Structure 1
Amino acid sequence: MYKIIRVLLAEKNSLVGVGIRATLNLEEDLILVGETNDVSKLAKLNLKFQPDLLIIDLDLTNFILAKLIADLHELCSYSRVLTLASSDKFDLSILKINGIKGCVFKSEEPQTLVSAIRAVAQGNTWYSQTIIEKLIQQQIGKQDENVEATLTEREQQVIGLIAQGWDNARISVELSLAQQTVRNYMSRIYTKLAVNSRSEAVIWAIKHSLGKQHEKVQI
């Protein structure tokens, strides 16, 4: 028995949108509950349909992404956001915005989008191998190479599991910790690594070989 994933799409009425709709229609567990090309309507539609996942096209104009994500989470704290990007316009700084759980390039294979949707809807994060490589090359959240030695064994366990795509709830079960304790560990890890987002912490973990990488990296 599979879990139905309800998707709300914000996309600019392009051929990419046609492809997304066709891709979702082929998957029994993915249902497109609504779509818009006007991000000003997204919060209202999100409240109306209460989807499991929001897909937002970064090429939509006339909106500030950080403010949009913040407003969505203020109204619907459960919202999970997957972004679509053009590889030639992709700005790595968007990965520092809290609330974005993944990004897929429009040029990628349809099955990559399907995998990303399922991962993000389950509470994990997803970035393609290309994005991971770009992040490492540009050294987002560049850290002192000796920082690893300052992380306790437990902190290294926590960040290693996060690098494998685990959410806080799953980590708490695996390590027999309360979820608040996991959050406390994350806060200390962020401080030690001088990072501001989960994606930056994950990139640091990958650079330092903590956690397992996957093809089309699910992190």
Structure 2
Amino acid sequence: MDTIRVMIVDDHPTFVQGLQFVVSTTESIAVVTVAENGAEAVEQAAELQPDVILMDLHMPVMNGIDATAQIKATSPNIAILVLTMLEDDDSVFAAMRAGASGYLLKGADKDEIVRAIQAVFAGEMIFGPGIAQRVMRYFQSQPTQHEADPSAAFPQLTERERQLLGLIAAGHDNSTIASELVLSRRTVRNHISNIFSKLQVAHRAQAIVMAREAGLGTKRGG
């Protein structure tokens, strides 16, 4: 297994040291750099291109939301996992809109953090238990733009692309999608790249939000 290269972005030295210890005890994960604020994170991410960034939200100079958005705009291949004390809806959904692939609270234990790093590296979305409930309640409460006919959503997509988008919105990773549709992972990645281009989104989180609001990824919308 390839080593997952991780950047830690946090302005609390004691927490960073503990997190470095947690990560360094896992053979398949290595910390390549640490940034103390969002501005440093943007600069170092562009230079070092880590696989995963563990991002705090409340920091001086530049906050984690703005840093996430800037990093994803220039390096959409980098997965960003928020690790913060903030658990309000505004912070959660701002992080999703900015392009975060996951959201954990700082009380998460070692196993949760390691699983989350591996998940976002593999292209999945992941949330801590309490955060996941907030996300589900949010989507369940949102009126869809195409309640009468979800198939009318995204006419610019082919039927196959709309099918893939529905599976992405339902929370399936690329491997599961490939297995379900009997496609190679490379073909799935190519389809997803085309979907993102047609929807003019930079990352998976934006596509999921758009798809769910249009009724895809639900029992009603497929």
Structure 1 and Structure 2 fold alike (TM over 0.5): yes
Alignment of 1:159 with 2:190, yes or no, is no
Question: Equivalent residue for 1:42?
Answer: 41
Question: Equivalent residue for 1:54?
Answer: 53
- Report % sequence identity: 17
Determine if contact 2:103/2:128 at 8 Å carries over to the other structure: yes
Equivalent pairs, count: 204
Question: Equivalent residue for 2:156?
Answer: none
Determine if contact 1:95/1:199 at 8 Å carries over to the other structure: no
Unmatched 5+ stretches in structure 1: 191-195, 212-219
Question: Equivalent residue for 1:113?
Answer: 113
Unmatched 5+ stretches in structure 2: 153-158, 200-204
Using the alignment, how far apart are the partners of 2:127 and 2:44 within structure 1? 26
Question: Equivalent residue for 1:80?
Answer: 79
Which digits, 9 at most, give the CA deviation of each residue in 1:65-99, with x for residues without a partner? 45423332344342221111215556232244242
Question: Equivalent residue for 1:126?
Answer: 126
Using the alignment, how far apart are the partners of 2:79 and 2:130 within structure 1? 22
Among 191, 194, 197, the alignment partner of 2:206 is 197
Determine if contact 1:10/1:39 at 8 Å carries over to the other structure: yes
> Residues 125, 73 of structure 1: CA spacing in aligned structure 2 closer, same or farther, 3 A cutoff?
same
SS in 2 for 1:197: helix
Determine if contact 2:10/2:16 at 8 Å carries over to the other structure: yes
Question: Equivalent residue for 1:20?
Answer: 19
Q: CA RMSD in A?
A: 3.7
**Offset of residue 53 of structure 1:** 1.1
Which digits, 9 at most, give the CA deviation of each residue in 1:160-188, with x for residues without a partner? 35534314x87468634675544555788
Using the alignment, how far apart are the partners of 1:61 and 1:68 within structure 2? 11
